[in-house]
Structure formats: C-alpha cells, structure tokens
C-alpha cells in the first residue's frame, strides 16, 4: 500500500482537460458525445477526443472515457459505435456500469481497460471478483462505503484489481447516483445522463386542503434544500484512504469550470505529494483553504467514517475567492502579462496568481487595455488587458481575488 495513488481529474471539455493536466492530474476522465452520465457537459466529439488523448498522452497522463449510461436494446448498436470510436482515439480505458456495455467493450474494443462505474453500486468483495472475471481491472467503489469496509475488501482482493474512490465534489442524494427523481419530475433520465438535479431544488410544504399555499421550511435565510447532499472533501484524509487500499483518488466535476479544476486538482496534487514525501508531517491547512476558493456546497466526509457527518439541505454554493482573469500570455523581458477579464478588478489591488504547484499574492501595478490605454479598473466581461510589472506567469494560469479584498 506504499504505491502512490493516481490522482484522477474531471474533464468536461478540452479546456478542462488541458487545465487538469497542467495542474497535476495523473489521469482524466471525460465523456464522449453519447452514453455518459453528464449529457450537458461540453463532452468530446471524435476530433476533440483524439486531440484530448494526444495532449494528455504527450504529458504522460491517461484518459478514461465514460460509457456508463444504462442501455436499452435500441441503444446497443450506437453504444458499440461509441466504444469503437473511443478505442480508435487511443483512450486508455472505458468506464461502464451496465453489463451489456461491459460485454460490448470486451467484444468490439478489447484493447481498452475496463473500469466499473460507481453507478454499478459495487459494495462487496464477491461483486468485485465477478466484475474482474468479466475483464475489469478497476472498480469505482459505491460512495456509501466506509474506509473500514474498503480496507476489508482490499485485503481479500487480488492486487491487480484497482479500487478507485471519490475524494472530492458533489454527492448524490440517491444510492450511488441510481436516481429516478429526475425522470419522474421532468422526464429527463438520470441514468442516461439527463439528470435535472431536482435534489438541488428548493422545496416548500403544501397542505392538501390548501392548494397553492406554499409554507416555507426554513433552515437559514436561504431556505431549506431537503434533498441536497453536501459536497465531499477528503483532502485532510488522504493517508487514511491510502491505508485503506484506495489506488485512485477521483475528483467529481465534469460540469465544472477550468478554474474549479485548476483549484481543486492543484490542491490535491500538492497534498498527495506532501503526504507521500513525509507521511508523518502534519497536514498543511493552507491546502484546505485552497479548495475553499472554488465554488462548493458545505463540505462533508461522506460515508467514509460511518454515517455522513452533517445532514443534507444546508443550502447553495459558497467560495472564499472570486476568479477575476485568465492568463493568455506573458513576456519575461517586459514583465507584462496579457489576461482576459472574468470579473471586475482594479489597478493597485492585491490578487492571487494560481499556477501549477503554487498560489502567490501580487499587487496590480499598472493596468491598460489591449490598445495601450491606461485604466484604473477592468469593468468589461472578457476584456483583454495588460498587467505591467507582473510576476512570472504562464498561459493557462488563473488570477483570483479573496472575497475579503473585494472593492467597488
């Protein structure tokens, strides 16, 4: 159990894939155009998939593609075509949850490693061994397992079967995501990638003899979200995951922005590297504060230590920082950075540069438009600006502001 676990990052589109690779992912997972469970992510057509695989492999990063929708008979031919396309693009593995998809993958794309999705609800050793007998090399464990149970399973399983587990991101109110609430309320099938996330909606109470009279249920001034599970965050507990035998740490978020991917992947990369270098060193709380900078619901450790440590329904998103600009280019000679504005910021204020491996504060010391006009603020969405006397930075870095520093 001393081997360094894989850090597995989400990639909803090519920009997120490139960001995940830059910020330290060992592997990325993504969806093709059909049969993934994030139908409303950017996803990858055939050309983008080839480009993504080429970029990732060029940096020593693996690519896993989700084909984890549950299939009807009339889906099978198209699913087989998708699997052939994934194989042809050079991906490393396919993630499935349906037995038919596993069988198709073995038949039409035998080169691809077979990973079993968390949607398969794998909770025990015999189930793991059954999937292995069908050719699986990895099980993405059901999210309802505790660390103690994972450790018990690991001790009974062959070492060539990798156990993957989620360490960060959104949790589903239903069992490992096997939900029909979206189907019932909206007609969008969650198990084929169309989830409308009704568990995140705000609900009220109605008495049957008083139709139209909605009685609010208050938890705080934002109301109560009865079914909305808190987000998972295990960055403080990577050592316990390693000791339990988890071989791949999965970050949820194929619907998330490149800034989110950079923030979370970068923090987990540093935390994992620090732990592997010195397992006895105290956890760097700065890395927990780092993940707070990305948009999230209240954090929880899920089921890892038994029952969830906090109830669902605590409300919407929060974050301790605001993404204000992305870096397009940097001239080392003139120390001038070209950036694209995403939120308003000002000349003279202190911002934070987020780069792979570090987050560094700096002061804006000269702000001008692309045509050379000096300005005191960046007010226009996606405006291209120059920052003078800027610290070293690279294309693909991000600039943010602490919420405590907000001006104007």
Residue 166 and residue 118: Cα distance in Å, rounded? 9
Would you state the pLDDT for residue 341? 95
Helix, strand or coil for residue 251? Answer: strand
Would you state the pLDDT for residue 185? 66
Question: 6-175+229-300, what's its fold?
Answer: TIM Barrel (3.20.20)
Dihedral angle at the C-alpha atoms of 398, 15, 22, 272, nearest 10 degrees? Answer: 90
CATH of domain 321-405: 2.40.30.10
Residue 262 and residue 241: Cα distance in Å, rounded? 22
350 token code pair: 């202190």
Residue 216 and residue 228: Cα distance in Å, rounded? 16
Sign of the Cα pseudo-torsion (267, 29, 395, 319, in order): negative
Domain with CATH 3.20.20.110 in the chain: 6-175+229-300
Would you state the pLDDT for residue 408? 43
Would you state the pLDDT for residue 180? 63
Whether the CB-CB separation of 90 and 57 falls below 8 Å is answered with yes
Contacts 24+ apart (CB under 8 A), 48-51: 48/13, 48/14, 49/85, 49/86, 49/89, 49/91, 50/89, 50/90, 51/14
321-371 pLDDT, tens per residue?
999 999 999 999 999 999 999 999 999 999 999 999 999 999 999 999 988
Would you state the pLDDT for residue 70? 87
Whether the CB-CB separation of 345 and 300 falls below 8 Å is answered with no
Tell me which residues of the chain have a pLDDT lower than 50.
406-408
Would you state the pLDDT for residue 208? 79
Residue 77 is inside which H or E element, if any?
A: helix 76-88
Task: List % helix, strand, coil for the chain (3-state, nearest 5).
Answer: 30, 25, 45
């Amino acid at each position: 159990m001393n081997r360094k676990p894989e850090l597995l990052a989400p990639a909803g589109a090519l920009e997120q894939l490139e960001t995940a690779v830059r910020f330290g992912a060992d592997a990325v997972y993504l969806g093709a155009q059909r049969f993934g469970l994030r139908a409303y992510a950017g996803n990858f057509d055939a050309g983008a998939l080839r480009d993504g695989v080429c970029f990732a492999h060029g940096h020593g990063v693996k690519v896993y593609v989700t084909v984890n929708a549950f299939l009807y008979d009339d889906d099978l031919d198209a699913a087989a075509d998708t699997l052939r396309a994934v194989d042809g693009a050079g991906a490393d593995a396919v993630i499935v949850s349906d037995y038919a998809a596993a069988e198709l993958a073995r038949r039409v794309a035998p080169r691809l490693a077979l990973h079993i999705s968390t949607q398969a609800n794998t909770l025990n050793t015999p189930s793991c061994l059954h999937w292995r007998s069908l050719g699986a090399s990895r099980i993405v464990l059901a999210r309802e397992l505790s660390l103690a149970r994972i450790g018990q399973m690991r001790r009974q399983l062959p070492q060539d079967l990798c156990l993957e587990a989620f360490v960060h991101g959104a949790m589903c109110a239903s069992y490992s995501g096997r939900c029909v609430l979206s189907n019932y309320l909206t007609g969008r099938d969650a198990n084929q990638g169309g989830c409308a996330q009704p568990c995140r909606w705000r609900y009220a109470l109605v008495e049957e003899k008083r139709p139209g009279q909605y009685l609010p249920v208050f938890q705080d001034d934002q109301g109560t979200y009865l079914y909305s599970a808190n987000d998972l965050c295990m960055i403080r507990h990577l050592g316990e995951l390693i000791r339990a035998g988890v071989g791949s740490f999965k970050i949820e978020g194929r619907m998330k922005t490149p800034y989110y991917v950079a923030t979370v992947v970068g923090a987990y990369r540093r935390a994992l590297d620090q732990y592997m270098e010195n397992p006895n060193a105290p956890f760097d709380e700065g890395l927990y504060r780092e993940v707070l900078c990305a948009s999230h619901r209240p954090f929880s450790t899920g089921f890892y230590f038994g029952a969830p440590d906090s109830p669902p329904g605590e409300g919407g998103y929060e974050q301790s920082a605001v993404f204000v600009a992305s870096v397009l280019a940097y001239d080392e000679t003139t120390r001038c950075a070209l950036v694209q504005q995403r939120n308003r910021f000002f000349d003279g204020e202190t911002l934070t540069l987020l780069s792979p491996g570090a987050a560094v504060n700096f002061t804006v010391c000269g702000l001008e438009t692309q045509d050379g006009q000096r300005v005191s603020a960046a007010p226009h969405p996606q405006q291209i600006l120059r920052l003078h006397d800027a610290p070293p930075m690279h294309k693909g870095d991000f600039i943010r502001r602490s919420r405590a520093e907000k001006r104007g």
